[in-house]
Amino acid sequence: MVKVGVAGYGVIGQRLADGVALQKDMELVGVADLAPTLSIKALKERGMPYDLYLVDGADKAKFDAAKIPYKGSFGDLIGKVDVMLDSSPGGVGAKNKELYEKAGVRAIFQGGEKNSVADVFFHGYANYEKGLGVKYLKLTSCNTTGLIRSVDCLDRKYGVDRVAITIIRRVADPGDYHRGLTNALQMDKAPSHQALDLMTIMPHVEATGILVHTPVTHGHIITVVAHGKGGKKITRDMALEAFKTHNRIRVVTIDEGFLGNASFFRYARDLGNPRGDMYEIGLWEDSIVESGDNIMYAINIPQESVTIPETMDGIRAVMKMQNDSASATAETNKYLGLGKWR
């Protein structure tokens, strides 16, 4: 059993902990955090299904006052695991890395860290093999994770040499107040980091794109224009066939009721998924169109949960649990129930 710890029990950390708990070949040793946040209070109210460890600087008196039990220090947790999943706020992971290095423990960082924090910038499908046995991985951000899933899907089957993307980005997660109450769209400078990140992981694809922030919380939408490798056209039928056989891409239609990003959130809740989480990206069949030699389509990114499967792949890579992407992603998918809708 590979032993795993989670640092930072926030939006991503809670979901990473749940994801590891579902992998039958991994053991979640515990989670670490700094403060008795609402997520930690909810953990306590749920009967502490995961052991809690306190990071340096945590105010123990506050945890004691809230009657939240803890097992020990961050160092205690690090000493018990093979891999740490670091989902602390962006930039904090780089500091935590010093502790991982000292303890000789592998670590996987999330998208808010700089690329330099890790040896490999990782995606479970597009470059799994590069992560084999490596000490430090960094996962792609939520948008990039979903974007690469779809571009890699076409690339693997038909070859892709150019993409252009537009990201309609949700401004905050449900429950966030730190971005204020907004009613405006905001432009980012082009090219968006997701396009640059895609080129880092898939260097044979030339990518560019624009990002527009929108005042919504239930998922991002990305439109992608892709060009087949060497001018070999990817038709609508070819794209649809590839997407329909991918276990992390749920192909839907507008007519069946998937009108937009909120439809996915509601459907995930109807499925009984904890917190309305969805591991898969949604892809609208009705959005796939040809434009000259290009193929265009739109995907929905459930930002809070989309990176969980690729992080599980990351554990498999650094621990050499499987030696190739196909078998590793298949194991992760099996435990997370990915592809069960097909």
For ligand NAD, the binding residues (CB under 6 A) are 7-13, 32-35, 37, 39, 55, 87-90, 92, 96, 110-113, 141-142, 173, 303-304, 307
Q: How far apart are CA 230 and CA 233, in angstroms?
A: 9
Which residues on adjacent β-strands are paired with residue 166?
210, 223
Query: Going by C-beta distance under 8 Å and a sequence separation of 6 or more, which residues neighbour residue 102?
Result: none
Q: Active-site residue among 28, 142, 153, 226? A: 142
Quote the tokens at residue 326: 């196909």
Between 36 and 131, whose beta carbon lies closer to ligand NAD? 36
Between 124 and 228, whose beta carbon lies closer to ligand NAD? 124
Between 39 and 166, whose beta carbon lies closer to ligand NAD? 39
Output the smallest distance, CB 22 to ligand NAD, in A: 18
The HSE-up count of residue 123 (CA atoms within 13 Å, CB side) is 26
Output the smallest distance, CB 10 to ligand NAD, in A: 2
Output the smallest distance, CB 131 to ligand NAD, in A: 17
Helices (H), the chain: 11-22, 38-45, 60-65, 74-80, 92-103, 142-158, 193-201, 236-244, 261-270, 307-318, 325-336
Output the smallest distance, CB 176 to ligand NAD, in A: 8
Active-site residue 142, yes or no?
yes
Between 167 and 234, whose beta carbon lies closer to ligand NAD? 167
State the residue number with the nearest CB to ligand NAD.
10
Q: Is 331 left (phi over 0), alpha (psi -120 to 50) or beta?
A: alpha
Edge-to-edge strand ranges of the sheet holding 72-73: 72-73, 52-54, 26-33, 2-7, 83-86, 106-109, 136-139, 120-122
Output the smallest distance, CB 113 to ligand NAD, in A: 6
Helices (H), 104-179: 142-158
Between 52 and 239, whose beta carbon lies closer to ligand NAD? 52
**Residues annotated as catalytic (active site), given as ranges:** 142
